[in-house]
Amino acid sequence: MDNLTRRRFLTMSGVTAAGALAVGATRVDWSDLMTAAVDDPLDAGDAVLVVVTLYGGNDGLNTVVPAADRAYQDARPDLAYQPDEVLDLGEGLGLNPGLKGLKELWDDESLAIVRGVGYPKPDRSHFRSMAIWQTAAPEGAVSTGWLGRWLDAAGGDPLLAVSVEPTLPPLLAGATTAAASMPVGGLKLPGGRLGSAFAALGTSAAGEERWRAEVARSVADLHSAVRVLGGAMHEQPDQQDEEQDEERTKGASAGGSSQLARQLDLVAGLVEAGVPTRAYSVSLGGFDTHADERGTQQRLLTELDTALSGFVRRMRTSDRGQQVVVLVYSEFGRRVHANGSDGTDHGTAGPMFLIGDRVGGGFHGQQPSLTDLADGDLKATTDFRDVYAAVLGDVLGAEPERVLDGHTGRLDGLIRA
C-alpha cells in the first residue's frame, strides 16, 4: 500500500485506542523467547518504563495551574482555581488540589514536570492527535507506535513490552513485533484433555491463510505467557458498574480504561517477580471534559494521584522497583478559554509528568504564554519527541534517533544517570 492508501485505511479502521496498527505485524516465536525470559530475568539495574495514557485530552492549565495569572482567571472565570486552592510549586504554578500525592513526590524531587509539550501544527481530533503521540509522527502516516519501533529495534522480543489493557494500544505495535497484552483479572487456562487440545491449536499449519496463522500464533503466545507470568497473576473481581457514578464518566467519549490502580498493581507484581519486561502501558480515560469540568477532572486527577503514589511507594521497597520511571501524557490540552458549559473544548499543548527515583525532579521546559496565543490556543514550547528521546536513551538504553525517525531533539536532565 502507498502512504495515502495506508493512511486512508488506518483512518477507516478508526485507529482509535486499539490494535488496528498491529495489522500485518507479529512474526515471533514466543516459546523460544519465553525460555530465554526464564533463563534471564530482569536485571536489578535495568530501568523500567511505565507509560500512562490519559485519554480524552487532559486540561493542562487546570492540572499545573497558573492560578495567580490574571489572564488565566479572565479566560475561565468559573473554571479557574484560586491561588490558595492549588498546591504551590513555585514559579507562579501550583498543582491541582486533587494531586496531593504528586505534590509529596515533587517535594522529594521525584516528580519532573515538562511544561508546554506538544507538536507543530496541532490537530484537534482525539484520534488523529492520539495517533500522533502514539506513533511519534506528527507529519504523516506512520503505521507503527514509538515503543513498537523500539521493540523492533531491540530485537523483536514481545515480552519486552506489556500492555495491561484488554486491547493493544497502537504505541506498542511495531512493524514486526507487537507487545504482549495482559488482562487485569489474570490469566487462567484449563488443564486436562481440554487444555491440551486447546494448546495444540497453537501449532502452526503449513501454508495457512494469514489471519488464521495469527490466531494460531496468539494461542501459542497465550500459553507461553501463562507459563512465565501465570505465577504473578491473581484473580480479582471485575469492578462493578454500580461504583462508577456520573462525575466519573462525564468525559468518557474519547476512550481509555477506568481501573488504573488495578492495572498498576499488576505492573508492580510483574516488576517484583522479575519478568524481563522493560516497558508497560496502562491508561485512564474520561478526560474529554467538554462540560462541568472542574468536578470531573479533579476526581480523575485524584484517581490518578492515588494510583500513582501508591504504585511509586510500593516500587520504592524493592531494588528492581527503584529503577521504574513513570511517564504520564494526554493527546492534547484544552482551550485556554472555557466554553460556556463550564468545560473546555479540544486544545493544544499540555504538561507531561515523569516520576521515579531516577527522575530529575522540578520543572523542565518553558510555561507557554497565556497572552501570546495561536488561534486561542497555547503555543507548545517543547516537542514531545524530545521527551521520548530522553526516555528512550536514558531509561531504555536505545538510540532515540533510530526509533524517532531521525528526530534529534532531546530534553537533558530529565533522567538521572
Among 235, 242, 319, 372, binds another protein (CB under 8 A): 242
- What DSSP assignment string belongs to 57-107? ---GGGTEE-TT-HHHHHH-TTTPPPTTTSEEEETTEEE-TT-HHHHHHHH
Is 255 an interacting residue with respect to another protein (CB under 8 A)?
yes
- Residue 138: name the closest of 391, 404, 368 by CA: 404
- In the range 61-90, which residues lie near another protein by CB under 8 A? none
Handedness of CA 305, 314, 231, 155 (dihedral sign): positive
Q: How far is CA 193 from CA 171, 197, 198, in A?
A: 38, 6, 8
Residue tagged 482551550 (cell numbers): 335
Classified as helix, coil or strand, 274 is coil
CB of 145 to another protein, least distance (A): 13
CB of 378 to another protein, least distance (A): 16
- In the range 338-397, which residues lie near another protein by CB under 8 A? 339-341, 343, 345-346
Among 117, 222, 228, 326, binds another protein (CB under 8 A): 222
| Count of residues that interact with another protein, criterion CB under 8 A | 90
- In the range 159-178, which residues lie near another protein by CB under 8 A? 163, 166-168, 178
Among 211, 235, 372, 406, binds another protein (CB under 8 A): 211
CB of 104 to another protein, least distance (A): 29
**Near another protein by CB under 8 A, which window of 104-112, 237-245, 272-280, 386-394?**
237-245
Element (H, E) at 22: none
Q: How far is CA 232 from CA 147, 184, 270, 324, 367, in A?
A: 24, 11, 6, 18, 42
Among 149, 250, 262, 410, binds another protein (CB under 8 A): 250
3-state helix, strand, coil in the chain (%, to 5): 40, 15, 45
N-terminal to C-terminal alpha carbon distance within the chain: 43
Classified as helix, coil or strand, 142 is coil
Specify the residue, 178 or 327, whose C-beta has the smaller distance to another protein: 178
CB of 292 to another protein, least distance (A): 8
Query: Measured between alpha carbons, how far is 214 from 216 in angstroms, rounded to an integer?
Result: 5
CB of 137 to another protein, least distance (A): 15
- In the range 110-139, which residues lie near another protein by CB under 8 A? 124-128
Neighbours of 36 (CB within 10 A): 12
Is 406 an interacting residue with respect to another protein (CB under 8 A)?
no
CB of 206 to another protein, least distance (A): 9
Is 153 an interacting residue with respect to another protein (CB under 8 A)?
no
Residue 251 DSSP code: T
Specify the residue, 153 or 216, whose C-beta has the smaller distance to another protein: 216
- In the range 177-196, which residues lie near another protein by CB under 8 A? 178, 180-183, 185, 187-190, 193-194, 196
Among 3, 14, 38, 107, binds another protein (CB under 8 A): 14
Specify the residue, 125 or 317, whose C-beta has the smaller distance to another protein: 125
